[in-house]
Amino acid sequence: MHNDVLMLTGAGQIGMAIARRMGMDKKIIIGDKNINNANTIVATMKNAGFDAEAMEMDLSSRKSIQNMIAKAREFGEIAMLVNAAGVSPSQAPIEVILKVDLYGTAVLLEEVGKVIKKGGVGVTISSQSGHRMPALTPEEDALLATTPAEELLNLELLQMKNIRDTLHAYQMAKRCNVKRVIAEAVKWGERGARINSISPGIIVTPLAIDEFNGPRGDFYKNMFAKCPAGRPGTADEVANVAELLMSPQGAFITGADFLIDGGATASFFYGPLKPEQK
């Protein structure tokens, strides 16, 4: 039996990059709605010497999340959570984005927070999109942060009449992710554990490459070309920050969000990506 388990939700390049940094001498349980994706990442991890196991996991289902947690705990205590699961604006309709990215993340943080090991740590992957949406009222932020997960989708600001399109739904979900992390950091702290979020910009992954070659490709290429970095990022650059947050060097960091977008958000507000200058 292992002493520590790293639980990874979402079998993609960012999650794997973080797991490779933090998963040494741990049992790594990798969950994804598509078991083939999870098996692929597990095979890569095993070939690199890690002890990894795949399972099917649907982030939009509390029961599925609970099943993954139960499986992980068969091997020891959950010491680390890496949540990289979710869907993008071009992958799903509004209802699915809100159910997976918003509700699902809230449930995951809530459920893992009940059992996370003392001294444990988690990171959830949010998005730069949440930073570009106009500010909400303090009351709305508080509702996103603290409303019981099972009641979140009943909030007035999340009703279909108030969501313009899939991008707006995605932005709202990611804003909610950041606010939930702040609130959950208080609860996790009662167990001596920490939780933070990372908001990446355009990161080169197989999905991103599909987007570059798809109907929105020019939009994404323009975004990274006109950001201060002048390029997209890599999964390992996200993992660099996750490694800090999840290591003893980050012991005083919890309830925080880290924007890693090459300056694209800065350019959106104060540079050539500003909407009226497009």
Instruction: Kindly state the DSSP code that residue 118 receives in the 8-state scheme.
Output: T
List pLDDT tens digits, range 223-276: 889 999 999 999 999 999 999 999 999 999 999 999 999 999 999 999 999 987
- pLDDT, average across residues 103-131: 97
Q: How far apart are CA 64 and CA 273, in angstroms?
A: 40
Q: Band the pLDDT of 60: cuts 50, 70, 90.
A: very high
List pLDDT tens digits, range 38-47: 999 999 999 9
Q: Which of 174, 179, 187, 221 is catalytic?
A: 174
Q: Which of 26, 27, 103, 170 is catalytic?
A: 170
Burial of 156 (0-12, 13-18, 19+ CB in 10 A): exposed
- pLDDT, average across residues 52-70: 98
Element at 194 (helix H, strand E)? strand 194-200
State percent of the chain over pLDDT 90: 88
Q: What is the pLDDT of residue 91?
A: 83
Least confident of 50-64, 190-204, 212-226: 212-226
Q: What is the pLDDT of residue 2?
A: 60
How is 27-76 classified by DSSP, letter by letter?
A: EEEEEESSHHHHHHHHHHHHHTT-EEEEEE--TT-HHHHHHHHHHHHTSS
Least confident of 53-67, 140-154, 195-209: 195-209
Asked if pLDDT for residue 208 goes beyond 80, the answer is: no
Burial of 138 (0-12, 13-18, 19+ CB in 10 A): exposed
Q: What is the pLDDT of residue 278?
A: 42
226 assigned to active site: no
Give the pair of three-digit tokens for residue 89.
């604006």
List pLDDT tens digits, range 46-56: 999 999 999 99
Asked if pLDDT for residue 211 goes beyond 80, the answer is: no
Q: What is the pLDDT of residue 209?
A: 79
Q: What is the pLDDT of residue 277?
A: 47
170 assigned to active site: yes
Angstrom CA distances, 46 to 13, 40, 246, stand at 15, 10, 22
